[in-house]
């Protein structure tokens, strides 16, 4: 084969690799994973505030055939979050488990109030090892909960290219805490997660103390939250929090009771009212996040 032909083949392979590369660069020494759990605003908050070892959660699109998708035009893509993490402080296994605890695994039509292809849940893997880990995590959950695998509507899929979302979507829960809090609770995310996983399990996966990771048998110390990192070592479980914490929680908490009251009293009429208000709020920001 001629040198020119070899160069042409090598160039084609290089371009293919570049085309498949994520539209986001992970810092040296870090790793990443991708999840689809409905609205990417909520995924960012959940992972950045409460998941151990997470460096950054980035909103974006993946899984469709459209190049350079935008919020106005991402037909066929999932709304996803790319999770950048420190493998010395956490692992793919830990974060997949956390992802499941932030989704309704029984709803294949979307998540919470958001329905359609963009909002369907999925766990993504990059390597055969990650695929087996994701299967094991799901298997352990099914066994502990007594659930049937046939009822799980969140597939484990090969990881596609990640396209980063517009800047106004990034860290939305920090930039617009009141609007975000209204949306999150009006959409019924906390309420449904508590119904699926139980009140106590929801709480321990959504607190900065990370009590779900406390192991009395740990050699690190009694009642110290610990996890097994990517190297198989037991380390102290620490979340990033990213400067949000109690301030954000306090600012959106007043929306919870009115939302539940309206939904309970007005039933279907209340649901229509919430959707209407959500659309109106999004239009004010020129964002139609529903």
CB 146 within 8 A of CB 252: no
Tokens 């309970």 map to which residue? 264
Closest C-alpha to 83, from 43, 121, 117: 43
Handedness of CA 140, 90, 193, 203 (dihedral sign): positive
Looking at residue 215, what DSSP letter applies? -
Neighbouring C-beta atoms of residue 266, cutoff 10 Å: 13
Residues 126, 131, 135, CA angle at the centre, nearest 5°?
Answer: 150
Closest C-alpha to 231, from 53, 87, 119: 87
Tokens 């799980």 map to which residue? 152
Cα 60 → chain centroid: 11
β-pair type (54-62, 162-164): antiparallel
CB 121 within 8 A of CB 104: yes
Q: Which of 39, 42, 113, 212 is catalytic?
A: 39
Q: Exposed, middle or buried, 139 (CB in 10 Å: 0-12/13-18/19+)?
A: exposed
Active site residue 204: no
Looking at residue 68, what DSSP letter applies? S
CB 141 within 8 A of CB 133: no
The catalytic residue positions are 39
């Amino acid at each position: 084969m001629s040198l020119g032909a070899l160069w042409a083949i090598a160039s084609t392979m290089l371009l293919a690799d570049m085309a498949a590369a994520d539209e986001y660069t992970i810092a040296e020494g870090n790793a990443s994973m991708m999840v689809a759990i409905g609205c990417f605003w909520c995924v960012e908050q959940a992972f950045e505030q409460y998941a151990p070892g997470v460096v950054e959660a980035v909103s974006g699109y993946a899984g469709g055939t459209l190049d350079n998708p935008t919020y106005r035009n991402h037909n066929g893509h999932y709304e996803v979050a790319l999770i950048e993490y420190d493998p010395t402080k956490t692992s793919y296994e830990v974060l997949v488990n956390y992802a499941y605890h932030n989704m309704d695994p029984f709803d294949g039509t979307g998540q919470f109030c958001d329905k359609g292809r963009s909002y369907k849940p999925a766990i993504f893997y990059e390597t055969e090892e990650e695929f087996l880990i994701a299967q094991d995590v799901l298997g352990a959950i099914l066994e502990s909960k007594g659930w049937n695998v046939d009822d799980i509507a969140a597939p484990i899929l090969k990881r596609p290219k990640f396209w980063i979302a517009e800047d106004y979507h990034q860290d939305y829960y920090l930039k617009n805490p009141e609007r975000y809090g209204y949306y999150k609770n009006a959409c019924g995310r906390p309420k449904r997660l508590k119904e699926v996983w139980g009140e106590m399990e929801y709480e321990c996966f959504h607190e900065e103390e990370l009590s779900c990771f406390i192991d009395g048998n740990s050699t690190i110390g009694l009642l110290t939250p610990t996890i097994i990192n990517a190297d198989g070592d037991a380390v102290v479980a620490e979340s990033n929090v990213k400067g949000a914490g109690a301030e954000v929680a306090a600012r959106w908490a007043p929306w919870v009771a009115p939302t539940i009251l309206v939904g309970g009293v007005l039933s279907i009429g209340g649901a229509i009212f919430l959707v209407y208000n959500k659309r109106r709020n999004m239009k004010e920001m020129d964002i139609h996040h529903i």
